[in-house]
Chain A
Amino acid sequence: MSAVSTSSKDALVRIRGLRTRLGGKVIFDGVDLDIPRGGITAVMGPSGTGKTTLLRHITGQLQPDAGEIVVDGRNLAQLDRNGLFELRERIGYLFQNSALLTDFSVFENVAFPLRQHARLPEELIRNIVLPKLQAVGLRGAAELMPAELSGGMARRVALARAIVRDPMLLIYDEPFVGLDPIALNQVLKLIRVLNQTLGLTSIVVAHELSAVSRVADHIYLLAAGKVAAHGGPDELVRGDTDWTRQFFGGEADGPVPFHYPARDYASDLGFAKERA
C-alpha cells in the first residue's frame, strides 16, 4: 500500500520514515504520514500503539530515533528550543486528561497562555477569553475551579484554552474517553464547528470508530509500528485487510492477539514431559 497520500504538497504535517524506540520497545518502525491543511485527520489504533507518542513527536516534545518530521514547512530536528516554542504557540493541544492547572480558575486557565506571552490589558484578555468560553458553552463557569468541573466540562475548558491563541493546528488526544453520550456529542460538534469557523487543521486521536467517522475527513490506522491502513472513513470500514477487519469489525482475536505472548500452555500446566 502506498502510504503517502496524493495531497502531500499542501500537507501541514509531513512525516517520513519515522522510527522510535522507547524503553527498549519499538514504537514506530517506518511511519509515513501526511496531515492535509484545513481538514480533520483521525489517527486510530489499539491502545499502546504509540498514538500519543506520535503527537509528542509532532509537537517536538520527543525526538525520534530516525525519520523526518516537518510541520508548516519547518523540520523539527533543526529547531532550537525557541524555535520549538514559537511553533508550539501556534499549536493547540487537548490533553487526554484535560491537564487544567489546578491552582487557577476556569477563566485564568484559559487566560494562562495569553498572560504568559504578552502583557495585555485586563480588558483585552476578557474580550479574548470570554468568547472562547462562550464557544464551548462555559462562559457561566468562568469563576469555577477545575476541581468543581465534570470530566466533560473540564475537557471543554481545555479546548477553550487550546484555541485561545487562534492556533493553526489543533490536536486532540483521546477527546471522547470517559464522556457520557451527551458530552460526547457536544465535543464532536465542537470539533467540527471549530475546524470550520477558525479555518484550522485538526488531528484527532481516538479509537471510537462511530465517533471518529462522524467528524474525520481522513483516517490513519496505526498498528505494530506501521501505518496499517489509511483513507476516508467509508473506504476504511469497507477495507479488507486483517487489521481493518479486526479493528473496525471489533473482533476479539486477529492481528492483535487475544492472548498475551506466553509459553506453551501444556508445558505451563506441567504436561511437558508426557508430550515429549
Chain B
Amino acid sequence: MSRKPGGGFIGDGLAQIGALGLFLLSVLAAVPRSLRYFAETVRQIFFVGAMSLVIIMTCGLFIGLVLGLQLYEVLSRFGSTASVGTVVAIALYRELGPVVTALLFAGRAGTSITAEIGLMRATDQLAAMEMMAVDPMAYVVAPRFLAGVIAMPLLASIFNALAIFGSHLVAVTWLGLDNGTFWSNMTGAVDVWTDVMNGVWKSAVFGAVVTLVATFQGYSTAPTSEGVAYATTRTVVYSSILTLAIDFLMTAFLM
C-alpha cells in the first residue's frame, strides 16, 4: 500500500479509492466468517458505540440549543416561529444528525480503530493471529466494520433526540413558544419514512464508510509509530470527505 512518490494528486486519489474498494470487498467477504466471533462484534459495539455516547450526547444537545436560537430568531422575521420544531426536526433527521454524528464518530471512534489496528500491525499481533490460524480480516476488521454499521444509526438517533430536546429547551422553555404549537407543527410535517428512516439509512452507510476507512488505514499502515500517526490523521481527513461526498450523492440520487 505504499504510495510511490510523484504519482500525482489525482493518480494517488484514484489509487487510494481503488485500494479502498478492494478492501471493502475483502471485508464483505470476511463478514460471514466473522459471525463465529460474534462476541467480538458485541465488544466492538461497546467500544465504538457506547464509548462515543458522551461526545455524541453533548454535541447533540448544543446543536439543538443553537438551532433553536437561530431558527427562532430567523423564523420570527416571517412570523413563523411555530415552525421552529418542524425545521429543527427535518434538518436534523435528514442531514445534520447523520452527518455531524459521522464526523464526530470519525474523530472519536475512527481514530481509535486506526490507531489500535495500526499498533496491532506494528507489534505483529495481526501476523500472530495469522499464525494462530485466525483470520485478522474476520476477527479484527469485520467486527469493527459491523459495529460501526450497527452503532452509527443508534448514535445518530440519540444525537437527534438530544438536539430536539435542546431546541425545545430554547424555543419553548426559554423563549416562550407554546409547547403544543412546537410539537403539533412538528408532528404535522415530519414523516417517518421520508425523514426519520432516510436519516437512519444514511447513517448506516456513513457508519460503513467511516469504519471502512479507519480499518483500511490501520490495516495498511506503515508499522512504525510515525506510520500510525499519519494513518490516524488520514482516517479523519478521508472519512470526513468521503462522508460528505456520499451524503451529496445519496441526497441527490436516492432520496
Residues of A participating in the B interface, judged by any CB pair closer than 8 Å: 59, 61, 85-86, 88-89, 91, 93, 95-97, 99-102, 112-113, 116-117, 161
Contacts and interface: CB of A to CB of B under 8 A. Distances in A.
B133 interface: yes
Interface string B98-126: 00000000000000000000011001110
B75 interface: no
A89 B133 CA distance: 6
Contact of A88 (B120, B132, B139): B132
22 contacts: A59-B131, A61-B130, A85-B135, A88-B131, A88-B133, A89-B133, A91-B131, A95-B124, A95-B131, A97-B124, A99-B123, A99-B124, A101-B125, A102-B119, A102-B120, A102-B123, A113-B132, A116-B132, A116-B133, A116-B134, A117-B133, A161-B132
B241 interface: no
Nearest to B131: A93
Contact of B130 (A86, A88, A100, A161): A88
Contact of B128 (A85, A91, A95, A117): A95
A110 to B, nearest CB: 11
Nearest to B43: A103
A265 B184 CA distance: 86
Nearest to B124: A99
Contacts of A86: 133
Contacts of B161: none
A97 B133 contact: no
Q: Give 4 nearest A-B pairs by CB, closest first.
A: A99-B128, A99-B124, A85-B133, A93-B131
B127 interface: yes
A112 B130 contact: no
Given A85-B133, A99-B125, A102-B125, 16 more contacts: A61-B127, A61-B130, A88-B131, A88-B132, A89-B132, A89-B133, A91-B131, A93-B131, A97-B124, A99-B123, A102-B119, A102-B120, A112-B132, A113-B133, A116-B139, A161-B132
Contacts of B128: 93, 95, 99, 101
A219 to B, nearest CB: 24
Contacts of A89: 132-133
Contact of B124 (A59, A96, A116, A117): A96
A86 B133 CA distance: 7
Interface string B123-158: 111011011111100010000000000000000000
A223 to B, nearest CB: 25
A225 B58 CA distance: 59
A41 to B, nearest CB: 19
A14 to B, nearest CB: 20
A85 B130 CA distance: 8
Nearest to A88: B133
Contacts of B131: 59, 61, 88, 91, 93, 95
Contacts of B124: 95-97, 99
A96 B128 CA distance: 11
A93 B119 CA distance: 19
B127 A95 contact: yes
Residue from A89, A116, A161 with most neighbouring chain B CB atoms (10 Å): A116
